[in-house]
Structure 1
Amino acid sequence: MSRSLRHGALAATAIVFSIASLSACAAGNDAPTLKVRPDNAATSVDHVKIQNVNVITQPDRDTEGPAVVAATLFNDGTKPETLESVTLPGSGTTVKLTPAEGDGPLVIPAGGRLILGGKGNASAVIESGREAAQDGSVQTVAFSLSETGEVSLGATVVPANSVFKDFGPSSLPSPKASPTASESAPGTPSEDASEQGSQDTANDEDTASE
């Protein structure tokens, strides 16, 4: 390769790196693209990181019942954050927050984390699960935090199967009870025999009295 071609290649490389650097600087921590990322259920705003966000519905697509929001919220700041609410913009439904133990707010301690979903963790329950989200779709989930404000991102809606089984709704519809043998049949053989014996005895008594 000649010297002029080498210089041209180096110059083109420098331009590419310059454009990439400017694009990264333009994004920044406050850019809207960091707050809504429908293709990736994780985001970071200031000192807060939200990861592994999913809306988990009932395991059976045809089953009605509540759904839940599963997520892990990290607080890398020096002050605790309170998760004030979780909403599903555009769905017209509410999400009920419940701490892992007792009553009170859901707090993300400084340097700590808060887990939503799963046994022993706080929960975010969507009562009208099927009305709010459909399996396979992407639902916007907005987390309202006391210090950071609202952080939104797109979460995939999945049924409570496979790896999501232990993080799905704890309230599942009870299966319909099947009728017992005594309910489905007019009478058991022993009952029929007993009734027949009573009738025979009554007939013998009537004959003797005559």
Structure 2
Amino acid sequence: MSRSLRHGAFAATALVFSIGALSACGAGNDAQTLQVRPDNAATAVDSIKIQNLNIITQPEADAEGPAVIAATLFNDGTKQEVVEKITLPGTDATVKLQAAEGKGPLVVPAGGRVVIGGKNNASAVIDNGRQAGRGGNVQTVAFAFSETGDIELGAAIVPATGFFKDFGPSTLPSAKPSATPSGSASGTPDEQSESPAGTPADSAAPADDAAATH
């Protein structure tokens, strides 16, 4: 085999290996969450890496409801890290943290990772989603770690549609109740005036029935 052919064969082998390695990295639990997208914020400080950071709001721009923070936290150190709090500097927003198990602090184990956002994962919820900012903007997110300290980076604000649909807020706005027709209340006094007065036994019956149902 000529020298040029040998080099070409080696390059092809390396390319196949690279594709296989990337495919293997994408397999496993939360593969979609771990996917690195070019428009997602990422940074590394000491032993902590933050990837795929986004603030995900309601699907509709004018909808009321919570927003969530989605990210993957990696800990390459020998000590576990506790996410003590997450804040949005420059806003009045409060971020509520909850571990995947629902109890205890949000811990990033030594040599491990934690996924924030998505089904069965830890969560970081902003009750008033409008406080997170407008869709399309970038909002600074500050993580406070027990060992590494504070890490700040910008997160894109995106609606819970398309790729982000499964990582968005679990609580969506409910439909607004329809207005009561104006004519429905006007007939009530007339109907009540026709009923005989002074019948306490009859008037108490509905209350007794209601209590029995409870």
TM-score range, shorter chain: 0.5 to 0.7
Q: Which position in structure 2 is the counterpart of 1:196?
A: none
Give the distance between the partners of 2:133 and 2:74, measured in 1 at CA.
Answer: 25
Distance 1:145 1:159, change over 3 A: same
Larger Rg: 1
Root-mean-square deviation (CA), in Å?
1.8
SS at match of 1:103: coil
1:1-210 alignment, distance < 5 Å: 41-176=41-176
Structure 2 stretches lacking a partner, 5+ long: 1-38, 185-214
Structure 1 gaps, min length 5: 1-38, 187-210
1:33-80 residue CA offsets vs partner (Å, 9 max, x unmatched) = xxxxxx861000011000000000000001011000000000000110
Q: Structure 1-normalised TM-score?
A: 0.65
State the alpha-carbon separation in 1 of the partners of residues 171 and 118 from structure 2: 12
Conserved in 1, the CA contact under 8 Å of 2:57 and 2:68? yes
CA distance in 2, matches of 1:120, 1:89: 28
CA drift of 1:132 comes to: 2.5
Q: Deviation string for 1:92-142 (max 9, x for gaps)? A: 111000111131100000110011000000100011111221100000000
- Which deviates more from structure 2 when the two are superposed, residues 138-147 or residues 93-102? 93-102
**Is the Cα contact below 8 Å between 1:40 and 1:154 reproduced in 2?**
no
Return the alpha-carbon distance in structure 2 between the equivalents of residues 178 and 115 of structure 1.
40
Q: How many residues align?
A: 143
Distance in 2 separating the partners of 1:176 and 1:114: 37
Where does structure 1 differ by over 2 angstroms across 4 or more consecutive aligned residues? 175-179
Return the offset for 1:178: 7.1
| Separation of aligned partners in 1, 2:166 and 2:86 | 21
Between 74-83 and 170-179, report the one with greater CA deviation: 170-179
Is the 8 Å Cα contact of residues 41 and 156 (structure 1) preserved in structure 2?
A: yes
Query: Sequence identity, in percent?
Result: 66
Q: Aligned to 1:60, what secondary structure does the other structure show?
A: coil
The answer to whether the 8 A contact 2:40-2:52 is kept is no
SS at match of 1:42: strand
